[in-house]
Amino acid sequence: MPAWHRTQPGWYSALHESGRSGTTSRGGLQARSLLVVAQVALSLLLLAGAGLLFSSLKALETVETGFQLSGVATGYFSLPKTAYEKDEQQAAFMTSLEERLRAIPGVQSAALIDAIPFSNNGGSASFFIQGQPRSPNAPPPHGGIHTISPGFFATMRIPFLQGRDFTDEDRKSTEQVAIIDSVLAHQYWPGQNPIGQHISLGDPDKGPWFTIVGLVAHSRSNSLEADTNEGVYFVPIAQVPTPTAGLVVHSSRPAEGLTADLAAAVRAGDSSIPIYDVKTMEQRVNESLVGRKFVVMLLGTFAALALLLAALGLYGIISYSVRLRTRELGMRMALGAQRSTVLRLVLMHGLRLAAFGIIVGVILAAFLSRLFTSLLFLVSVLHVLPWLCAAALLTITVLVASFLPARRAASIEPMQALRNE
């Protein structure tokens, strides 16, 4: 814009006249003022947006996972297929591993699961319900599936609502059993008792059929945000073995200090098997929030930069305005205006710019409310506190940026200003 103006005819005379009277430059002052209003508006959006996202993050951190967090250590191990080709070999290793885990000093309970919660693992599968025919075009029932060892629910402090837990007697040669959570029960057995019902994980004509023996409360698997997690059913790891499993240990000792003990328990069964991805349950849940924390930090940084730019812009505009109005202010003071009146006059000019910017920012927020809403969790875009804090911070910034030019204007010597003009 300045380069374009300099290419226009008569710019030198316009500049010369503006230096004398200040009248021609007022158009440029208005254009600069509009830019400052835009800076304030965008600063409001960024500051309030950062505040809303921070409030949303804090709300997420209070969401109940449905299981125990403190004192739980976790890790993964994989059995080599060459040495543990048969299901019986895998089951024998895991049974002995559980015994060694429970023998670790301070460990209160231990269990195995194919996919540790909040480790971004796990799968889902369709199943069939005995006695519930479905139409040819309807999709079969579907849910998350986990293979676990007895004691998993006790270790994770997931409450039982009905029925029983798996036991060491649930083996390949015994009745195939399953446990479902409350969401799955509500989906496919609404108003009914699911205990004793039968489901098939494969071909319903071939089986095997699993008898539902327990009902547990629903717990989150991978996200603290809107719970899109589907219902889950569990089967014993001894009946549906897996070569890769995670171990969960609840201990009275600090979970961070169990890494060496967990590794030793695995190696005691087979020195060639390493343990990996060892973390506490709290670490896994916190890591699920890393992306949102990064967005909050990034938006907060942009908001701080926008606030700084708005302050610099306001300082420049107010200083420029005072320089253009030197003659006017000198005449006011020569005619009896108090210095406090001039100080207030200049400060009010800055506050007017801030007020216009805040109004424009609120209008923009109304148009962008759908975008804000998609980024928030448990917090409304109409949550007043972040907007009030952002407006208050901008107002304080405007007053600080306007104070030095205002004090300079109040210290003008009337006769000196008139002589200079």
- 11-68 pLDDT, tens digit per residue, is 555 555 444 444 445 556 677 778 888 888 888 888 888 888 888 888 888 888 888 8
Q: In the chain, where are the structural domains located?
A: 28-62+290-420, 72-253
Question: What pTM, to 2 d.p., does this model score?
Answer: 0.73
Long-range Cβ contacts of 312-317 (<8 Å, 24+ apart): 312/401, 313/32, 313/35, 313/36, 313/39, 314/36, 314/40, 314/350, 314/353, 314/354, 314/397, 314/398, 314/401, 314/402, 315/401, 315/402, 315/404, 315/405, 316/32, 317/29, 317/32, 317/33, 317/36, 317/353
- Residue among 79, 15, 37, 4 at smallest CA distance from 361: 37
Place of tokens 């919660």: 117
- Strand pairing of 232-236 and 142-148? parallel
Q: Along the chain (421 residues), what's the average pLDDT of each consecutive run of 10 residues?
A: 64 51 56 81 86 84 85 92 86 90 92 90 83 76 90 93 91 91 91 91 78 92 70 90 91 88 91 91 89 87 86 79 67 67 77 86 81 74 84 85 74 59 53
Among residues 11, 170, 177, the alpha carbon closest in space to that of 91 is found at 170
CA atoms of 421 and 415, how far apart (whole Å)? 10
User: What phi, psi does 249 have (nearest 5°)?
Assistant: -130, 130
**Spatial CA neighbour of 172 closest among 95, 91, 239, 242:** 239
Q: Are 152 and 160 in contact (CB under 8 A)?
A: no
Cis peptide before 194 (omega within 30 of 0): no
